[in-house]
Amino acid sequence: MFCIGTEFSMSTSQRPEFWHQLIKKIKTEYDGKLTYSSNWDNFEKIPFWKELDYIGVSAYFSIAEGKTPKTDDLIKGWKSHFNKLKSVSDSIKKPVLFTEYGYLSVDGCAWKGWEVESKVNETPINEQAQANALGALWTVFHQEPWWAGGFLWKWFPEMQGHEGYPERDYSPQGKIGADTLKKWHSTYCHQN
């Protein structure tokens, strides 16, 4: 699989012909699956989904406020986003792929993550919030035939490469979120 670009919201809306031509050119050189990674707030506006194999979304949706939202509240928080994702998938006739998904392991990680990230060093560590958010995502999407799965942000080879705050970052490695993912991957892989 090849991702032709990531989160170019201005370019995709202002230069659609460039993207159509780029996709044609890529297809002359590459015969594998193609996607593009749209930001969570822009996936409904991409003019070239039909030319790709997957509707790629960086899935950093705000789903529930609070330091440690309960899994049920997080699941409810996915409803409107779920409906929009499914609607785009149904209309384009392509599966949705989360080109990135993940949560910081801090208080409030499931709401406006970009704001939480800007003050991550002052925000209390909260592994349970991260685990709940990951579990809710998998609960909501794992059985949907139009969902192609996703790429976790981030997993570090041999735990190397952290940005300086490993206890608070997106990686669930060494945290309870890893157990949550292990459970879901084990269940999901055995079903398919």
Average pLDDT over the chain, rounded to whole?
A: 94
With a cut of 60, say whether residue 192 has pLDDT above it.
Answer: no
**Rounded Cα–Cα distance for residues 191 and 51 (Å):** 30
Which one is the CATH code of 2-191: 3.40.640.10, 3.20.20.80, 3.50.50.100, 1.25.40.20? 3.20.20.80
DSSP string for residues in 88-105: HHHHHT--EEEEEE---S
User: Residue 30: what residue type?
Assistant: Y
Strand segments, DSSP code E, in 22-181 are: 34-39, 55-58, 96-101, 147-152
Q: Which of 88, 92, 94, 116 is nearest to 104 (CA)?
A: 116
Please say whether the beta carbons of 103 and 59 come within 8 A. Answer: no
Domain parsing of the chain, residue ranges: 2-191
Q: What are 142-167's pLDDT values in tens digits?
A: 999 999 999 999 988 877 777 778 89
pLDDT, residue 189, reads: 62
Please say whether the beta carbons of 126 and 68 come within 8 A. Answer: yes
